Amino acid sequence: MNEMTPGQRVARARKRKGWTQGDLAAAVDRSASWVAKVEGGHAPLDRRSIIDRLAHALGVEVVELTGQPYRPATQNMDSGHAAVPALRLALQRASLPSFASIERQPRPLMDLQRAIAHAEDLRQAANFSPLNSLLPDLIEDLVVLGRTETGDAAASTAELMVRACHIARVMANLTGHHDLAWLAMERELSAAQSVGSPVVLAAASWDLCGAWLHAGAIDEARNVATQAIDTLDGLQGSDAPDIPAMLGAMHLRAAVAYSRLWSASDAAAHIAEARRVVQPSGNAWQTQFNAANLAIHEVEIAIELGRPGDLERQVQSVPVSEINSGERLSHYWTCKARGLGMSNKPTEALEALLKAEQIAGAHVLNRPMARALIMDLLSRTRRGVHPELRRMAGLINA
């Protein structure tokens, strides 16, 4: 069966609200003809910032317009969705005081440290299916262990919970289970507060900012980022080695938030601050704050600001060979594809999408903007649809 397009979802939400196309156009400062083109599939929704504005005006969640989560038709393309019920149950249990009474012998702390490191590797590779299968037991072990350990061991266990819940939050957002992401986020914040370390709290704030961005709550994302930046600025020069990296990562979050608010000057200012502290490589608290990821963020920001000219220049500046994360590399090629689509270069856009798919196919098929681009490229093709484009569209509509 065919999946509804984002434009069709916009039309459904508009009609349910009792608005005309002119009403919606006025609410988002666009023309009625633009709304008509969007709803008819003749104008792409190729920026999250525009989808965020439409969702806010229509009074719906972003996922109502994007259609997430996307459940594939075949098990081999499941991307980890099958493990979501077990993960949801583990996170729900983690918030209940009675969970400690359930008989469970947790793994030793050192074993859990190794398991978390392995899960982080899978997360960076965007390898969702095995990752999701690992997380429920990891989280339940950490909950039981956290209620029996004391002193330094308790703090170490809580730090592992922060890392585990970060992985769960990212996985849930990437696969479109945003309510599950908030369950993970709540548990992560609680664990970070129990540790009390400025770096751990900053890591949780960085993750919270990411959750707000996925939810389309851009003001909240900006506020979390700028508040964390103020706190981290006051800690510079301390003996905590991850402070500069966390500060830079928060500047990147703020830059993305401001780009989604279409404030180019603020986005540029935060990019400049991130560049001031960036190192060639690094991955403090899974932020991937390094020179290559900073360049990827500049590409993403150019897209959100609707600047194809800047985008082509930014794409060329990304040191692709230095990207050491499969998720980030796939994201780079997806962003490049989106930019090429905006520049009306459909053949090059498809080539970039195929490169992203080769690296992390699940990452592409779970991204709303990538799916929208695939369907937009298909709608633009008047004759001789490329077989690879037809195949990718078939995966979406299966």
* Residue range 103-127, pLDDT digits in tens: 788 999 999 999 999 999 999 988 8
Its pTM stands at 0.94
Residue 206 lies in a domain: no
pLDDT at res. 129? 84
| Structure tokens, 51 | 């989808």
pLDDT at res. 1? 45
* CATH number of the domain enclosing 7: 1.10.260.40
pLDDT at res. 101? 57
* Residue range 59-102, pLDDT digits in tens: 999 999 999 998 877 776 777 888 899 999 999 988 876 654 56
Shared domain for 337 and 398, answered yes or no, is yes
| Structure tokens, 37 | 């083109």
Question: Last residue of a domain, which of 278, 301, 324?
Answer: 324
Q: How buried is residue 161: exposed, middle or buried, by Cβ count under 10 Å (0-12/13-18/19+)?
A: buried
Contact 363, 126 (CB under 8 A): yes
Residue 176 lies in a domain: yes
Shared domain for 29 and 118, answered yes or no, is no
* Residue range 304-349, pLDDT digits in tens: 999 878 888 899 999 999 999 999 999 999 999 999 999 899 999 9
| DSSP string for 204-250 | HHHHHHHHHHHHT-HHHHHHHHHHHHHHHHTTTTSS-TTHHHHHHHH
* Residue range 201-253, pLDDT digits in tens: 999 999 999 999 999 999 999 999 999 999 999 998 777 789 999 999 999 99
In Å, what is the CA distance from 108 to each residue of 11, 119, 138, 141, 197?
54, 17, 11, 9, 23
Shared domain for 317 and 337, answered yes or no, is no
Residue 237 lies in a domain: yes
Shared domain for 252 and 293, answered yes or no, is yes
In whole angstroms, give the CA distance from residue 94 to residue 349: 43
Of the chain, the end-to-end C-alpha distance in Å amounts to 6
Shared domain for 241 and 319, answered yes or no, is yes
pLDDT at res. 192? 97
To the nearest whole number, what is the mean pLDDT of the chain? 92
Contacts of 110 (CB under 8 A, 6+ apart): none
Question: Last residue of a domain, which of 196, 229, 254?
Answer: 196
Is 194 in a helix, a strand, or coil? helix
In whole angstroms, give the CA distance from residue 307 to residue 312: 9
Question: Last residue of a domain, which of 324, 348, 382?
Answer: 324
Shared domain for 247 and 162, answered yes or no, is no
Shared domain for 319 and 334, answered yes or no, is no
Helical H segments across 40-127, by residue range: 48-58, 62-66, 84-94, 109-124
Q: Within 13 Å and on the Cβ side, how many CA atoms surround 378? A: 19
Instruction: Provide mean pLDDT across the span 383-391.
Output: 91
Predicted confidence (pLDDT) at residue 398 exceeds the cutoff of 70: no
Q: Report which of residues 109 and 396 the model is more confident about.
A: 109
Residue 213 lies in a domain: no
* Residue range 262-284, pLDDT digits in tens: 999 999 999 999 999 999 999 99
In whole angstroms, give the CA distance from residue 288 to residue 273: 16
* Residue range 162-206, pLDDT digits in tens: 999 999 999 999 889 999 999 999 999 999 999 999 999 999 999
**Residue 301's domain spans which residues?**
219-324
In whole angstroms, give the CA distance from residue 19 to residue 21: 7
Shared domain for 184 and 87, answered yes or no, is yes
Residue 211 lies in a domain: no
Residue type, 146: G
Q: Which helix (H) or strand (E) holds 76?
A: none
Residue 363 lies in a domain: yes
Shared domain for 65 and 84, answered yes or no, is no
Shared domain for 115 and 188, answered yes or no, is yes
Q: How buried is residue 42: exposed, middle or buried, by Cβ count under 10 Å (0-12/13-18/19+)?
A: middle
| Structure tokens, 76 | 């081999």
pLDDT at res. 379? 86
Residue 207 lies in a domain: no
In whole angstroms, give the CA distance from residue 157 to residue 278: 29
Closest CA relative to residue 175, chosen from 77, 53, 293, 299? 77
Residue 205 lies in a domain: no
pLDDT band at 2 (very low <50, low <70, confident <90, very high): low
Shared domain for 375 and 318, answered yes or no, is no
Shared domain for 31 and 61, answered yes or no, is yes
- Per the listing, tokens 């919970």 go with 161
Number of domains in the chain: 4
